[in-house]
Amino acid sequence: MARQIIYDDPIFFDGYMKIREKEDNANDLFEIPALLTLLPDLSGKSLLDLGCGYGEHCKMFINNGAANVVGVDISEKMLEVAHRANSDPKITYLNIPIEDIDKLEEQFDVVVSSLAIHYVESFAEVVKKIYDKMNTGGVFVFSQEHPIATAYSSGNRWTKDENGKKLYFNLSNYCVEGERELTWFVNGVKKYHRTFSTIVNTLVEVGFTIERMIEPFPDAEMLKKHPQYDDLLHKPDFLLVKAKKM
Residue-wise pLDDT for 63-92, tens only, equals: 999 999 999 999 999 999 999 999 999 999
- CA–CA separation, 184 and 187 (whole Å): 7
Which ranges of 95-165 does DSSP label H, i.e. alpha helix? 123-132, 147-150
- pTM here is 0.93
- Other CB atoms within a 10 A radius of the CB of residue 44 amount to 10
In this prediction, residues 97-106 reach a mean pLDDT of 97
Interatomic CA distance for residues 75 and 72, integer angstroms: 9
What mean pLDDT is predicted for residues 102-128?
97
Instruction: Indicate the average pLDDT of the chain.
Output: 94
pLDDT by residue (tens digit) across 227-243?
999 999 999 999 999 99
Instruction: Out of 21-25, 31-35, 206-210, pick the least confident.
Output: 21-25
- As a CATH number, domain 6-147+194-245 is 3.40.50.150
Amino acid in position 18: K
At 209 the pLDDT is 98
- Closest C-alpha to 34, from 158, 212, 187: 212
Closest CA to 94 of 78, 108, 109: 78
Pairing of strands 108-114, 91-94: unpaired
Q: Calculate what percentage of the chain has a pLDDT beyond 90.
A: 85
User: Domain segments of the chain: what residues?
Assistant: 6-147+194-245
Which pLDDT band holds residue 15 (cuts at 50, 70, 90)? confident
Distance of alpha carbon 222 from the chain centroid: 22
